[in-house]
Amino acid sequence: MVEEIKAIKVRPQPKSETRKHIIVVRVQHNFGVLTRITSLFAGRGYNIESLTVGKTHEPNVARITIVVEGNERVVEQIIKQLRRLIETLRVRDITDIPHIERELVLIKVHAGEDKARDEIMRLVNIFRAKVVDVSVDTYTIEITGDTEKIEAFIKLLKPFGLKDIARTGVLALTRESAKEGLQDNKVE
Amino acid sequence: MPKKRGADIVIDVLLEEGVDTVFGLPGGAIMEVYDALFDAPLRNILARHEQAAAHMADGYARATGKVGVVMATSGPGATNLVTGLATAYMDSIPMVAITGQVPTHYIGTDAFQEADVVGITRPITKHNFLVTDIKDLALILREAFYLARTGRPGPVLVDIPKDITQQEYDYKMPTLKDVEDALPGYKPHYEGNPVQIKKAAELIRRAKRPVLYVGGGVILGEASNELRELAELTQIPVTTTNMGKGSFDENHPLALHMLGMHGTYYANMAVYHSDLLIAVGARFDDRVTGKIDEFAPEAKIIHIDIDPASISKNITVDVPIVGDVKNVLQKLLKELKKKPVEWEDARKSWLKQIQKWKEKHPLTYQKSDKIIKPQYVIEEIYNITKGDAIISAGVGQHQMWAAMFYRYNFPRQFLNSGGLGTMGYGFPASLGAKIGKPDKTVFAIEGDGSFVMNMQDLITAVQYRLPVKVAIINNEFLGMVRQWQQLFYDSRYSSVCLAVQPDFVKLAEAMGAVGLRATKPKEVREVLKKAMEINDRPVVMDFVVDREENVLPMVPAGKSYREMIVSPKQKSEAETMYLVG
Ligand SMILES: Cc1ncc(C[n+]2csc(CCOP(=O)(O)OP(=O)(O)O)c2C)c(N)n1
Ligand SMILES: [Mg+2]
């Protein structure tokens, strides 16, 4: 005979940590496709950290790089929903795949006194950044790198007084040298 | 090939797709298409409200399995489709909506009757298109049909600016290959992973307390025969969702009927105690699972669905199988037959336990010979139609009673808005169903609240001589809301009383339909008998029922199956009888 369950039983729920994911999406470059993607995030309350779009070498194919915070479960849902869009060609989470990650940032920083100007120039050199515009009291600096480097640079500039920042968001490509065993189909 | 007007290209594609009926109502931006329809070999059912037209197309699609087509003009015509599209989207119903748009050069200028329809309907369609060049028109329309009916079906909208319907173009009908080439990223997964299917078979062999949990996907995927074969072979009891009703004969000894919020005691007990849950074309909706982490706490889960995004969305699944349910079930059967087990023996004690639960709390209600019980009306509809009618329902208590007290035995028999819960769906959907299945008796089981949300289209039923039977379960309440207020808001009946109502009999007569009324139990059969004799126009039956009858059993929203309310004596949450433990 089957025993009726007496105690309160609970389904075990898998736990997973929240972290940053880089998702690369290739889409048919039709008008409206970007709205479909962003409204997919907005409608479900997923928070996009950055999103970049650009054409590719293939005609009518655009590549979108999305950075989101989330646990495995949420990110898996995001990926499934992205794959579900009719115009999606391929979706990959490249977070755990060897990849090159770059962001380009323009920073306006206060640089009035000589001491500050010297100090900022030193940082610019260390980080291999570039001063692209100079005014009486401002340097405009261009820097590229991965998120870590950029964040470190910005943190060091902060005490001088930041006036404005423009960031492209993360771009990423997987390393060709480590491409074996990649699973990149649209459908699992 | 001579040049053709855009509007004529629209008609050509409809004919190419095998469409013989469209539902809609014209207006400025879509006049060209209606002009082309005038002498085309397909008919337009002139609805009196675009929302109703959309539900008609939906009902037609649900009853026949074909793509339903609805047409509307720009602006208000198109915005009136929104509820109908969302309803179809939530239940994965194949539909194509064609809307007129203001001429291309006016788009974005707040022109008269302009609305961003593609923007508005983006999240409630499987896909949508704005045609910007007549060269693309035929291909886009064919893509729309292809997307609507393949993979996980759904509504697709095509917005066509008026100038494009007026231009002429020397076109060639796109082929299926053209369509597939235009959709390089769209590859529905039909096959099902053989390794996963093997794993599923092994779990089924080893299970002691398995349950099949079946949703609308089995109906959409035409997999009822395979489902029956699987259930009978392995002796696994079957519970269906509201959307899955009709996929498995409810008079079958293995039928557990519906599960979830208003599921039967025995279905919910079986699921709660199961050690293996085989979900087929279902999606673990919150109305089904209740409190998710106490749902089937001891069960391993196999989930078969064509939509990868449905899997492990609400619950973590042990064996996911992405594929067409018919295809997967066939392969699963093959796999199971390779290594047969003494199924009857294996299931003996489990089925016996289920039988005990069925006897302890069968699906029933307090009968009366003084006042009409709503459940009684449904039972009598079942009897007079011999279980063979197509039933569509509104949303509310009457919908649940229609689901519980009619016994469904074939797919596409029960039509209702399970996902969105759209009041006003039932009656217009019944018209679409009757048009698609003229030889079937079609009943719309409606609430007094739901019916009035689209009752204007009674005139459409009269115009086209559609002999649908509308049974209004008249409790003079927005009954389902009243029930929740009674149970969870201390009986504070806020804005739910519908005591001021039209006289439904006179209303029917004013529209050219037949109106009948029953106020006593003994009149119910008589009224139904009269209604069944009428074959040239709609009949509206006003069943004046017990006002404060409740839908039971009930698992309160967000609660565990343990907290199911079974008897009417358990009035409030506090008094809820703990079934187990
Ligand atoms: C369009 C819409 N508005 C509101 C609701 C919320 N709602 C759910 S059931 C219900 C009451 C329905 O009343 P009625 O049609 O008379 O059915 P009953 O429950 O009385 O059988 C309401 C208002 C809904 N589901 N749909
Ligand atoms: Mg009512």
Do residues B249 and B129 share a domain?
A: no
Interchain CB distance below 8 Å, B581 and A7:
yes
To the nearest whole Å, the CA of B490 is away from the closest chain A CA by: 28
Q: What own/partner pairs with CB < 8 Å and gap ≥ 24 does A35-43 have?
A: A35/B119, A35/B122, A36/A85, A36/A87, A36/B122, A37/A64, A37/A66, A37/A82, A37/A85, A39/B122, A39/B123, A40/A81, A40/A82, A40/A85, A41/A68, A41/A78, A43/B123
Chain A segment 17-46 residues within 8 A of B by beta carbon are 27-28, 32, 35-36, 39, 43
Q: Name the residue with tokens 């260390």.
A: A126
Strand intervals (E) in B262-331: 276-280, 300-305, 319-322
Residues 6+ away with beta carbon under 8 Å from B318: B203, B300, B301, B302
Residue A184 placed within a domain: no
To the nearest whole Å, the CA of A111 is away from the closest chain B CA by: 45
Do residues B473 and B401 share a domain?
A: yes
Residue B562 placed within a domain: no
Phi–psi pair at B53, nearest 5 degrees:
-60, -40
Contact B75, B104 (CB under 8 A): no
Range scoring the smallest mean pLDDT among A100-109, A173-182, B506-515, B568-577: B568-577
pLDDT band at A16 (very low <50, low <70, confident <90, very high): confident
Range scoring the smallest mean pLDDT among B97-101, B165-169, B577-581: B577-581
Distance CA B292, CA B560 (A): 8
Do residues B8 and B149 share a domain?
A: yes
Question: Which atom from ligand 1 is nearest to the alpha carbon of B451?
Answer: 15
Residue B143 placed within a domain: yes
Do residues B47 and B147 share a domain?
A: yes
Residue B201 placed within a domain: yes
- Residues in chain A with CB shorter than 8 Å from the CB of B183 are 86
Residues 6+ away with beta carbon under 8 Å from B543: B372, B374, B377, B471, B472, B473, B474, B517, B518, B524, B527
pLDDT band at A181 (very low <50, low <70, confident <90, very high): low
Tell me how far the alpha carbon of residue A62 lies from the centroid of ligand 2, in angstroms. 52
B390-393 sheet: strands from edge to edge: B414-415, B390-393, B442-447, B469-474, B539-544, B514-518
The CATH code of the domain that includes B296 is 3.40.50.1220
Do residues A105 and A154 share a domain?
A: yes
Last residue of a domain, one of B336, B360, B384: B360
pTM score, two decimals?
0.94
Which tens digit of pLDDT belongs to each residue from B202-217?
Answer: 999 999 999 999 999 9
The residue length of chain A stands at: 188
Last residue of a domain, one of A55, A76, A96: A96
Last residue of a domain, one of A36, A63, A96: A96
Residue A182 placed within a domain: no
Per-residue CA distances from A95 to A21, A90, A149 (Å): 5, 16, 17
Q: Which ipTM score applies to this complex?
A: 0.88
Tell me how far the alpha carbon of residue B460 lies from the centroid of ligand 2, in angstroms. 23
pLDDT reading at B533 higher than 90: yes
Which tens digit of pLDDT belongs to each residue from B57-111?
Answer: 999 999 999 999 999 999 999 999 999 999 999 999 999 999 999 999 999 999 9
| Residue A10 forms contact with B (CB below 8 Å) | yes
> Domain count of chain A?
2
The CATH code of the domain that includes A119 is 3.30.70.1150
Residue B522 placed within a domain: yes
* Residues less than 5 Å from ion ligand 2, measured at CB: B 447-449, 475, 477, 479
Shortest-distance ligand to the CA of residue B419: 1
User: Using CB atoms, which residue from A4, A43, A187 is nearest to B189?
Assistant: A187
Residue B230 is classified by DSSP as H
Do residues B322 and B399 share a domain?
A: no
Distance CA B126, CA B404 (A): 31
**In three state form, how does the secondary structure of B453-479 look?**
CCHHHHHHHHHCCCCCEEEEEECCECH
- pLDDT in the model for residue A6: 67
| Residue A140 forms contact with B (CB below 8 Å) | no
Evaluate: CB of B396 within 6 angstroms of ligand 1. Answer: yes
Residue A9 placed within a domain: no
Residue B151 placed within a domain: yes
pLDDT band at A178 (very low <50, low <70, confident <90, very high): confident
Residue A4 placed within a domain: no
Do residues B413 and B483 share a domain?
A: yes
Determine which one of B258, B404, B423, B480 is catalytic. B480
Told to judge if B397 belongs to the known catalytic residues of this protein, a careful annotator would answer no
Q: Which residue in chain A is spatially nearest to B121 when comparing CA positions?
A: A36
Do residues A61 and A49 share a domain?
A: yes
User: Using CB atoms, which residue from B209, B294, B297 is nearest to A2?
Assistant: B209
Give the DSSP per-residue string, B329-361. HHHHHHHHHHS---HHHHHHHHHHHHHHHHHHS
Residue A187 is classified by DSSP as -
Shortest-distance ligand to the CA of residue B551: 1
pLDDT reading at A179 higher than 90: no
Distance CA A77, CA A40 (A): 11
Q: Per-residue pLDDT averaged across B356-377, rounded?
A: 96
The CATH code of the domain that includes B427 is 3.40.50.970
To the nearest whole Å, the CA of B185 is away from the closest chain A CA by: 4
| Residue A89 forms contact with B (CB below 8 Å) | yes
Q: Which of B242, B480, B498 to mutate to test the pocket of ligand 1 (most atoms within 8 A of CB)?
A: B480
Distance CA B109, CA A28 (A): 28
Q: Per-residue pLDDT averaged across B173-192, rounded?
A: 96
Distance CA B427, CA B473 (A): 13
- Residues in chain A with CB shorter than 8 Å from the CB of B309 are 77, 80-81, 83-84
Residue A12 placed within a domain: no
Cis peptide before B184 (omega within 30 of 0): no
Contact A138, A111 (CB under 8 A): yes
- Residues in chain A with CB shorter than 8 Å from the CB of B580 are 4-6
Distance CA B90, CA B70 (A): 17
CA A46 from chain center: how many Å? Answer: 14
User: Using CB atoms, which residue from A10, A81, A188 is nearest to B322?
Assistant: A188
Evaluate: CB of B394 within 6 angstroms of ligand 1. Answer: yes
Residues 6+ away with beta carbon under 8 Å from B23: B44, B45, B47, B53, B54, B56, B57, B60, B68, B69, B70, B71, B432
Q: What percent of chain B has pLDDT over 70?
A: 98
Ligand 1 atom 23: the closest Cα is on which residue?
B478
**In three state form, how does the secondary structure of A125-139 look?**
HHCCCEEEEECCCEE
pLDDT reading at A184 higher than 70: no
For residue B553 the two structure tokens come to 């059993």
Residue B484 placed within a domain: yes
By a Cβ cutoff of 8 Å, what residues of chain B touch chain A? 118-119, 122-123, 126-127, 130, 147, 183-187, 189, 209, 272-273, 292-298, 307-309, 312-313, 315-316, 322, 349-350, 352-353, 560, 562, 580-581
To the nearest whole Å, the CA of B273 is away from the closest chain A CA by: 7
Do residues B227 and B348 share a domain?
A: yes
- Sign of the alpha-carbon torsion through B64, B65, B69, B75: positive
Residue A11 placed within a domain: no
Range scoring the smallest mean pLDDT among A66-70, B310-314, B439-443, B468-472: B310-314
Q: Which domain holds residue A24?
A: 19-96
Do residues B475 and B344 share a domain?
A: no
* HSE value, Cβ hemisphere, 13 Å, CA-based, for B532: 16
Give the DSSP per-residue string, A42-78. HHTTPPEEEEEEEE-SSTTEEEEEEEEEE-HHHHHHH
CA distance from start to end of chain B:
76
pLDDT band at B581 (very low <50, low <70, confident <90, very high): very low
In degrees, rounded to 5, the angle at the alpha carbon of residue A177 between the alpha carbons of residues A174 and A182 is 55
Phi–psi pair at B316, nearest 5 degrees:
-80, 130
Do residues B296 and B331 share a domain?
A: yes
pLDDT reading at B555 higher than 80: yes
Q: Which of B83, B397, B452, B478 to mutate to test the pocket of ligand 1 (most atoms within 8 A of CB)?
A: B478
> Domain count of chain B?
3
Which tens digit of pLDDT belongs to each residue from B433-469?
Answer: 999 999 999 999 999 999 999 999 999 999 999 999 9
Do residues A126 and A73 share a domain?
A: no
Other residues' Cβ atoms within 10 Å of the Cβ of residue A11:
17
Do residues A159 and A128 share a domain?
A: yes
Residue A178 placed within a domain: no
- Identify the three-state secondary structure at position B322: strand
User: Using CB atoms, which residue from A14, A43, A84 is nearest to B309?
Assistant: A84
Q: Which domain holds residue B465?
A: 374-544
Q: Which of B450, B476, B543, B544 to mutate to test the pocket of ligand 1 (most atoms within 8 A of CB)?
A: B450
Question: Which atom from ligand 1 is nearest to the alpha carbon of B478?
Answer: 13
Q: Name the residue with tokens 């590859």.
A: B187
Interchain CB distance below 8 Å, B580 and A4:
yes
pLDDT reading at A56 higher than 90: yes
User: Using CB atoms, which residue from B147, B294, B307 is nearest to A9?
Assistant: B294
Last residue of a domain, one of B326, B360, B394: B360
Last residue of a domain, one of B360, B383, B405: B360
Interchain CB distance below 8 Å, B322 and A27:
no
Q: Which residue in chain B is spatially nearest to A90 when comparing CA positions?
A: B185
Residue A62 placed within a domain: yes
Distance CA B202, CA B428 (A): 46
- Residues in chain A with CB shorter than 8 Å from the CB of B307 are 84
Do residues B122 and B204 share a domain?
A: no
Give the relative orientation of helices B374-384 and B397-405 as an angle to the nearest 10 degrees. Answer: 40
Which tens digit of pLDDT belongs to each residue from B396-422?
Answer: 999 999 999 999 999 999 999 999 999
Residue B557 placed within a domain: no
Evaluate: CB of B421 within 6 angstroms of ligand 1. Answer: yes
The CATH code of the domain that includes A41 is 3.30.70.260
Give the DSSP per-residue string, B490-546. TT---S-B--S---HHHHHHHHTSEEEEE-SHHHHHHHHHHHHH--SS-EEEEEEB-
Distance CA A19, CA A72 (A): 9
Do residues B198 and B178 share a domain?
A: no
Residue B580 placed within a domain: no
Last residue of a domain, one of A63, A96, A129: A96
Do residues B100 and B174 share a domain?
A: yes
